[in-house]
Structure 1
Amino acid sequence: MAAATGDPGLFKLQFAPFSSALDVGFWHELTQKKLNEYRLDETPKDIKGYYYNGDSAGLPARLTLEFSAFDMSAPTPAHCCPAVGTLYNTNTLEAFKAADKKLLLEQAANEIWESIKSGAALENPVLLNKFLLLTFSDLKKYHFYYWFCFPALCLPESIPLIQGPVGLDQRFSPKQIQDLEHAYDDLCQAEGVPALPYFLIKYDENTMLVSLLKHYSDFFQDQRTKITIGVYDPCNLAQYPGWPLRNFLVLAAHRCSFQSVEVLCFRDRTMQGVRDITHSIIFEVKLPEMAFSPDCPKAVGWEKNQKGGMGPRMVNLSECMDPKRLAESSVDLNLKLMCWRLVPTLDLDKVVSAKCLLLGAGTLGCNVARTLMGWGVRHITFVDNAKISYSNPVRQPLYEFEDCLTGGKPKALAAADRLQRIFPGVNARGFNMSIPMPGHPVNFSSITLEQARRDVEQLEQLIESHDVVFLLMDTRESRWLPAVIAASKRKLVINAALGFDTFVVMRHGLKKPKHHDARNLCASHPVAPADLGSSLFANIPGYKLGCYFCNDVVAPGDSTRDRTLDQQCTVSRPGLAMIAGALAVELMVSVLQHPEGGYAVASSSDDRMNEPPTSLGLVPHQIRGFLSRFDNVLPVSLAFDKCTACSSKVLDQYEREGFHFLAKVFNSSHSFLEDLTGLTLLHQETQAAEIWDMSDDETI
């Protein structure tokens, strides 16, 4: 449809019809309604749908129904217009075929016509977008037959095009377009709706005003020849308006005294986070004269089938109506919606396919697991040797009071079971096992040693078979063995630890494979183990980053010996674990989105105003939170060449001697690791320097 330059009668307005879009969740909800509520009841039911006007070019104008279609009070999705409809659900296929489609269309058309004549459509323009849905559900085979109807009243003659259509940027200046955006947004906000299907427009070079349909008499009182109206247009074709304009033009011809109407098909698209309405079109049409007859005009609107003929459609959902499969589809919905407009470059497969090992099934472990499920992670494994106590359920959301009875269920097993009850699509496993620790001796002559050997072997196998290891335990020393194994196996480690009102969430430096000869790279940075801001060490790659133990100059030992109860337990503000657990998962996801993964350069607090390295933002090394100040900082620290967990001396000994080396660590005092890594010598040198400085001061 090109711009008219001669006889306007040569160019007639045409409309792009709606295409029905029924979500699988709609059919599942209809099935439940049919089985539990409707049964043999065939009386019409009120339902609702919506349409959207921000699709990319080439997609049809869709009227969508989803699981919430049966809840008339359900909110309409953002940036969508509601449409009210009537469901006619038949009990048999014969009744579906025999339904009087002509009568159903006439009844719906009469309702629209009455709303136009009474003025109700001016007060509530949604009444112009009524639809019908005729269905039959074969619940043995999960075959669903349906026929959509979008009733549209017909004017007595075709509608001549006077001018246009042209793109919005060909008619208005950038300022006018921006003013239109703001005016429309303000009107929607004032009305408390996500979008308005129709609105009035009045403009000049300096102003752009909009108003509701019901105010048209006052709004256009100074107009003489034509009016301008906006239509929230679901069509994205450059030459044609969408179906909702049809019934509005009947309203305009019946109630307005103007000879022509200028129509702005408002199309609101967001691509790569940038809003754009310049692909909207504007044109002017001549309004036909309508005799004020009480009779309803002729109506059209039954949707064509997939073959282009007049007939119903059928969808076979026998393979996807299983509740577990529906749950999987629903779980992924929010994630997929992220990719539509907010983060189109998000690689969900990297997140969903990640196999996550959670060492610790306590407060942190429970919160990390729930957040992982929110990101669609399907493979989650717990390791813990504790049982659920009465103090746990209020802080650890995977447990309930009944889990505490008769001595308490094993945490790891109960957590895995609860995840599968929350979402059957998750592959959750639990291992009730201990992690051998430095400072906690094992006996060489008893079964204890063999048990420790089995625990180490099992932990090695678990870390080998997973992609990401979360350290979420209560004590410092319990993190040592998995930190060593994961560093040796080049696995991404996410660590989270809590204080009373502080926390640290960090990723361990990911060692490069041996053939890169990168094991000793940290030796070129023999810095003291301390957090270093990016102002000192910028652009540090992942293989040079420190681990949880790189900031310590003392080897891990028994941290609970000779401690009071409040010193043995992690006493934290109740909200701290949820914050730290969520940040631990978000850090993992950000790392996975970076092209270099665990080798990504660390972001720091100084990078907050810079261009983010991933679609989700920064990829920090550490997040240190201070809840008393409601503040987070992003420090960066280098790997320590004398680290008791990830230094080359420790990893070489572990890889050469295996469990024999580990047993010596378990059974010896912390001095064994300190002697091995050189910390003992460092302590001695430090003490000597302090003595030298003191004597030197005394001579002055």
Structure 2
Amino acid sequence: MANSDSNDSTPKQLQFAPFSSALDVGFWHRLTRKKLEEYKLDDTPKQINGYYYNGDPDGLPSRTSLDFNSFDEPAECPPHCFPSRGTLLNLNTIDAFKSCDKKSELERAADLIWRDITSGAAISDPSLLSRFLLLTYADLKKYHFLFWFAFPALCSPENVVINQTRHLNQCFNEQQIQSLQESYDAVVDNHKGLAFFLVQKKDDLLTVFQLSDWDLLSDKSQVMLGFCDPCTLDQYPGWPLRNFLCLAAYHWADELPSLQVLCLRDRTREGVRSTDHSLVLDIQLPSIKSLSECPKCVGWEKNKNKMAPRKVDLSASMDPTKLAESSVDLNLKLMRWRLLPSLDLDKVAQTKCLLLGSGTLGCNVARCLMGWGVRTITLVDNSNVSYSNPVRQSLFEFEDSLEGGKPKAQTAANRLKLIFPGVNATGLSLSIPMPGHAIGSSEEILKQTKEDVAKLEELIDAHDVVFLLMDTRESRWLPTVIGASKRKMVMNAALGFDTYMVVRHGLKPPKDGSDENVAAGASAASSGGADSAPSLNCIPGEMLGCYFCNDVVAPGDSTKDRTLDQQCTVSRPGLSMVAAALVVELLVSLLQHPQGGYASADTSAKDDHLTTSLISPLGLVPHQIRGFLSRYHSLLPSSFAFDMCTACSSTVLRHYETEGFEFLLRAFNQPHYLEDLTGLTKLHLETENCDILEFSDSESITSIN
């Protein structure tokens, strides 16, 4: 555009200064959240809001701005700003972005403006004249965004001719300008964001009216069109005037073939208000009343004078921790978008997990929990990293085993934070007292043991789920008792050489009997009829056994008089990863089940698990998973809670809850105390005294002739 003298009265075609887009970083953050939590794969048009500013100093481009609040409705504009209604097309792939029919999309936006003009809706609500279209593609793994703006502007079939361009103070005196400012302020007080208006010249005053007041103004020759002009150029009006002139050409051109347009530029500098740099245009306005179709439309924003989209890279400017957190959430939410709309990821993320054991199983369970978005993980162990650990225990490195080795639990927790800073990981060194491992009689040892028990009780109380991932059977006894007493979900994983067992402990009914999930689970179990009772194929969660329920002996010292290979868990290297993954997946399936830990057990009996209806969106919720790696085979057995169980029976829980540490001390020190207490000793004696069928030698030999 060539500059010309402001008083030049030579008729020429009216030209307009185009808009530029200005997107705040907050807009991209909000779009990211919307994409992940609301839009997902929905790429249908979304209504958003922007605004443009009237009051920039000379030299700045006209800008339509979008920020964090652009997705809110109703839109709130900052002071001296005016609303612009937008349509967002957020496309799912870069190919869809590139192949989008931009001509059709612009025409669709133009049709909306034309409809509002011809129907008169834009006279009642002039903000309908200012619209934009925004195409976006968000690469949320790299935080790269492609975008392309369009500011639809209708084109008159005939050129709009401008006869003269003058400044406001060249057309009106100081008193008239003062009356214009006061009248405009009065109207805006009642109609905030009013960008298009009428100005009447009468009695040496300039009075502002709304567009809907057109019919109330008797002398149309004294009426000017007015709009808040975002442009700062000395010769040209801003882009919003284009659609405003189309509205005037459709409705009022017959009455105002020649008219004046006030381009109001309202600036405040150092506390002083000035409108002197506003423009007054004398134009010839052709009528378009006879048009039956929407006029041609222009408006795609150029990128460095080329018709091309723009790209913004926010990866460097964003907090790396927040980026990692968003990316972790993205991987999980992608599953929910297409495959599992009912997946409750917040419930998983908020579940607090206590891992007792930070070795081979503990490391792999922690990694898998983190992959599911669990944010709170506490690891407990009392040993240090040894030279043999790093190759199998995935959270340790060779350096961790030097100089006697670093504490396993703390090292594992620190490594989790290095992998993902958003995880709340804690490591604690703690010895868990065990039956069969007698506690000494010294006051110091008794005090330390009591403190260890209290700490374990405190940890279990503060978490939602307890994972038993230790090396020995007896080390699982105390947390099993505490977990059952506190009604916590207890998940157990144990390894053999080429076998593994994953089991969820039965969740005891609440002490007050008020939990609705228990009733729901019992109802589901008895759905076969009034006379039906729970069977091995459908045991409610509160009736399921624990790790010790299938044993008829109390846990004892399993490492005494054992060789090195018997003291260590010698297993095939891949076994721990299989078992760790299964115990975590079983937990997440339970969390998604309506009855949670009280869900009835699914089994593999008669292959019903292949056809049974799935209640949890993630599939079956078995009681146990027993795997045989040598045959690549697994079973889903289930078992009732044993009323003589040395860990979860009502007898044991009652003594633990009433006697506390004194009860535990007897269990630690007296080899047969638990068996005597639960009735197992009596059961053994009764079994030994049963009649045994005897056979004579002659009866045991078969003759062969």
Query: Which is higher, the Rg of structure 1 or of structure 2?
Result: 2
Deviations 1:383-412 (A, max 9, x none): 100100011001011000000011000000
Task: Give the distance between the partners of 1:455 and 1:316, measured in 2 at CA.
Answer: 51
Task: Give the distance between the partners of 2:570 and 2:25, measured in 1 at CA.
Answer: 47
Give the stretch that moved more between structures: 443-452 or 562-571.
443-452
Change beyond 3 A, Cα 1:21–1:580: farther
Q: Does 2:678 align with 1:677?
A: yes
Deviation at 1:147, TM superposition (A): 6.0
Normalised by the length of structure 2, the TM-score is 0.55
Change beyond 3 A, Cα 1:21–1:397: farther
| Residue matched to 1:180 | none
Deviation at 1:539, TM superposition (A): 1.9
Deviation at 1:515, TM superposition (A): 2.6
Deviations 1:497-539 (A, max 9, x none): 0001100001000000123399xx9xxxxxxxxxxxx995232
Task: Give the distance between the partners of 1:81 and 1:421, measured in 2 at CA.
Answer: 32
> Is the CA contact (8 Å cut-off) linking 1:385 and 1:434 kept in structure 2?
yes
> Is the CA contact (8 Å cut-off) linking 2:353 and 2:377 kept in structure 1?
yes
Change beyond 3 A, Cα 1:612–1:22: farther
Secondary structure in 2 matching 1:421: helix
Deviation at 1:312, TM superposition (A): 11
Change beyond 3 A, Cα 1:58–1:639: farther
Q: Does 2:465 align with 1:453?
A: no
Change beyond 3 A, Cα 1:584–1:434: same
Deviation at 1:692, TM superposition (A): 4.2
| Residue matched to 1:55 | 42
Deviation at 1:316, TM superposition (A): 13
Change beyond 3 A, Cα 1:439–1:22: farther
Query: Unaligned stretches of 5+ in structure 1?
Result: 1-18, 28-51, 62-77, 86-130, 135-142, 158-297, 305-309, 522-533
| Residue matched to 1:592 | 591
Deviation at 1:687, TM superposition (A): 1.2
Letter in 2 for 1:563: R
Deviations 1:12-64 (A, max 9, x none): xxxxxxx999999999xxxxxxxxxxxxxxxxxxxxxxxx9963755589xxx
Change beyond 3 A, Cα 1:565–1:614: same
Letter in 2 for 1:148: W
Deviations 1:50-80 (A, max 9, x none): xx9963755589xxxxxxxxxxxxxxxx995
The partner residue of 1:329 within 317, 326, 330 is: 326
The partner residue of 1:384 within 381, 385, 401 is: 381
Task: Give the distance between the partners of 1:486 and 1:568, measured in 2 at CA.
Answer: 26
> Is the CA contact (8 Å cut-off) linking 1:493 and 1:508 kept in structure 2?
yes
Letter in 1 for 2:353: C
Task: Give the distance between the partners of 1:489 and 1:362, measured in 2 at CA.
Answer: 26
> Is the CA contact (8 Å cut-off) linking 1:502 and 1:626 kept in structure 2?
yes
Superposition pairs of residues 87-236 of structure 1, within 5 angstroms: 148=148
Task: Give the distance between the partners of 2:333 and 2:598, measured in 1 at CA.
Answer: 27
The partner residue of 1:608 within 607, 610, 635 is: 610
Change beyond 3 A, Cα 1:456–1:544: same
The partner residue of 2:625 within 595, 604, 623 is: 623
Change beyond 3 A, Cα 1:57–1:82: closer
Q: Does 2:563 align with 1:550?
A: no
Deviations 1:191-217 (A, max 9, x none): xxxxxxxxxxxxxxxxxxxxxxxxxxx
Task: Give the distance between the partners of 1:544 and 1:652, measured in 2 at CA.
Answer: 17
Normalised by the length of structure 1, the TM-score is 0.55
Deviation at 1:695, TM superposition (A): 8.6
Deviation at 1:314, TM superposition (A): 12
Secondary structure in 2 matching 1:346: coil
Deviation at 1:659, TM superposition (A): 0.4
Secondary structure in 1 matching 2:667: helix
Change beyond 3 A, Cα 1:420–1:681: same
Change beyond 3 A, Cα 1:53–1:653: closer
Letter in 2 for 1:460: E
Letter in 1 for 2:148: F
Change beyond 3 A, Cα 1:494–1:620: same
| Residue matched to 1:470 | 467
Deviation at 1:133, TM superposition (A): 10
Secondary structure in 2 matching 1:516: coil
Change beyond 3 A, Cα 1:360–1:374: same
Task: Give the distance between the partners of 2:349 and 2:407, measured in 1 at CA.
Answer: 27
Secondary structure in 2 matching 1:494: strand
Task: Give the distance between the partners of 1:496 and 1:22, measured in 2 at CA.
Answer: 50
Task: Give the distance between the partners of 1:620 and 1:512, measured in 2 at CA.
Answer: 19
Task: Give the distance between the partners of 1:53 and 1:542, measured in 2 at CA.
Answer: 35
Task: Give the distance between the partners of 1:374 and 1:624, measured in 2 at CA.
Answer: 24
> Is the CA contact (8 Å cut-off) linking 2:376 and 2:425 kept in structure 1?
yes
Q: Percent identity?
A: 61
Deviation at 1:315, TM superposition (A): 10
Task: Give the distance between the partners of 1:454 and 1:504, measured in 2 at CA.
Answer: 31
Task: Give the distance between the partners of 1:22 and 1:697, measured in 2 at CA.
Answer: 96
> Is the CA contact (8 Å cut-off) linking 2:136 and 2:145 kept in structure 1?
no
Deviations 1:634-678 (A, max 9, x none): 111000000000001100010011000001111111x11101000
Superposition pairs of residues 361-380 of structure 1, within 5 angstroms: 361-380=358-377
Compute the RMSD of aligned alpha carbons. Answer: 4.5
> Is the CA contact (8 Å cut-off) linking 2:43 and 2:92 kept in structure 1?
no
> Is the CA contact (8 Å cut-off) linking 1:25 and 1:326 kept in structure 2?
no
> Is the CA contact (8 Å cut-off) linking 2:148 and 2:308 kept in structure 1?
no
Change beyond 3 A, Cα 1:372–1:145: closer
Deviations 1:568-597 (A, max 9, x none): 000000000000001010010001101111
Letter in 2 for 1:646: C
Change beyond 3 A, Cα 1:439–1:147: closer
Query: Unaligned stretches of 5+ in structure 2?
Result: 1-20, 30-38, 49-90, 99-133, 138-142, 158-296, 520-532, 701-705
Task: Give the distance between the partners of 2:686 and 2:677, measured in 1 at CA.
Answer: 16
Letter in 2 for 1:55: D
The partner residue of 2:669 within 667, 670, 676 is: 667
Superposition pairs of residues 56-75 of structure 1, within 5 angstroms: none
Task: Give the distance between the partners of 2:677 and 2:458, measured in 1 at CA.
Answer: 26
| Residue matched to 1:638 | 640
Give the stretch that moved more between structures: 536-545 or 428-437.
536-545
Letter in 1 for 2:611: M
Deviation at 1:607, TM superposition (A): 2.3
Deviation at 1:338, TM superposition (A): 1.2
Letter in 1 for 2:585: E
Letter in 1 for 2:600: V
Letter in 2 for 1:607: H
